[in-house]
Amino acid sequence: MIVYTIIGALVFQNLETTNEKQQCIRKMNAYNPIENETAEELWKAAQVFQQIDDEENALDAIYDIVVDFRQKALALKYDGKNCSQIGVDGGPQSDWSFSGSLLFCVTVFTTVGYGNITPQTFYGRLVCIIYALVGTPLMLVFLANIGSIMADVFRFVYVRVCCCGCLRHRIGSNPGDIAKLKNEEEYSEDDDEHISVPITVTMAMITGYIFMGALLFSSWENWSMLQSAYYCFITIATIGFGDVVPGVASMNDTSGQFIMVGAALYLVFGMAIMSMAFNLIQEEMIGKVVWITEKLGLSKQQECENDGPTDQSTAIISEPKSKDPFAMASPMEAPYPMYKPSDNPENLKHMLREPSTLTNWAAAAISQNTKK
């Protein structure tokens, strides 16, 4: 995605910069006569009303001239910059600078779409369509993969840091059980997947990311905390109204270009965090639904309806009911080799890594010796 974004920024910068400069010069050439004409009308009005000493009518006439000038200037959408110096050292920056184009590309394939700059040329719009058609699915795949990975990492950190008592709780509180867990490596890492992160923790993480962004943008742009938090939320939520865009006010400075790059990075990381949050919330909600159905007896009832009678041989090769590596299963439930009189210590070595295998073998051995 990084390479795709950089290539897109270079392409749009090349396609739109020349056209932007031409359009700006056209607006400037149309604005200058209006400005000169307005200045001349104001001068004439001041001279006339100075002679007749009619201050009230003079103010009304001047007001009408200024309002007419304002309407014409707004219709041109000229911002007053020296268009002939766009892109020149010391001159005004182009809207399609590399940082501006980079932010535009990110808002395209993330479907945020601020709308502060848009392609105006035929080829620019054509490339934008193709770029969005290819980039949006790529971004969705990227978010799905990175969201899953980040969810696993966050769950691992949560279990090790915030839920350090979960391991003891899962294996029981008996001293004999706890003694079996002499180090964390004996605990199966697969069991981390069975621990879901609470929704409150996930929401707190999102709130913290928005608050961190609000601090950054309030410092960079001199926005209020509310305005900065508002921008961060509508950005990572892909709402993208476009009424608040960073870097626009200081576009001609190096800091403005830096802010645009920072905004693009904040958007990408924010969407990755949102994808991770959706993964964690989905797991938590599924776990809650399963828990409720089990409490209501709906899950057990469905099992009884779907499962037919099973014989002893089926039970022997069936999957263990408990995924806990320290759970004691009966010999009939165990999918492991049963006790044989010919067993020797060499045959038991492969069982030492799986306590349930060894306990099932021992239970079978004791049972057969008792019968004899």
Mean pLDDT is highest, among 125-134, 306-315, 330-339, for 125-134
List of E strands, the chain: none
Locate 341 and state its tokens. 């009189």
pLDDT of residue 293: 87
pLDDT of residue 126: 96
Mean pLDDT is highest, among 5-14, 49-58, 181-190, 192-201, for 5-14
Segment 314-360, tens digit of pLDDT: 443 344 444 444 444 444 444 445 545 555 665 555 555 555 555 66
In Å, how far are 61, 108, 125, 213 from 138, measured between CA atoms?
Answer: 60, 12, 20, 25
- CB-based contact 279:151 (threshold 8 Å): yes
- The confidence band for 193, taking pLDDT boundaries of 50, 70 and 90, is low
- 3-state SS assignment for residue 181: coil
pLDDT of residue 107: 93
281 vs 299 pLDDT, higher one: 281
pLDDT of residue 171: 47
Sign for the pseudo-dihedral over CA of 121, 124, 130, 134: negative
In Å, how far are 93, 106, 271, 297 from 114, measured between CA atoms?
Answer: 19, 10, 15, 50
Asked whether the predicted pLDDT for residue 303 surpasses 80, the reply is no
Segment 236-254, tens digit of pLDDT: 998 988 888 888 777 767 7
pLDDT of residue 128: 95
Closest by Cα among 273, 155, 259 to 217: 259
Spatial distance between the Cα atoms of 106 and 132, rounded to a whole number of angstroms: 10
Distance of CA 92 to the CA centre of its chain: 33
- 3-state SS assignment for residue 108: helix
Domains, in order of start, for the chain: 2-81+91-136 (no CATH), 139-294 (1.10.287.70), 313-371 (no CATH)
Spatial distance between the Cα atoms of 46 and 54, rounded to a whole number of angstroms: 10
Residue type, 266: Y
Spatial distance between the Cα atoms of 65 and 69, rounded to a whole number of angstroms: 6
Q: What is the model's pTM? A: 0.67
- The confidence band for 368, taking pLDDT boundaries of 50, 70 and 90, is low
Mean pLDDT of 151-167: 75
Locate 349 and state its tokens. 């070595």
Locate 358 and state its tokens. 């060894």
pLDDT of residue 93: 82
Spatial distance between the Cα atoms of 92 and 194, rounded to a whole number of angstroms: 57
Range from 11-15, 120-124, 144-148 carrying the lowest mean pLDDT: 144-148
- CB-based contact 20:86 (threshold 8 Å): yes
Q: Directed axis angle between helix 254-296 and helix 98-109, to 10°? A: 20
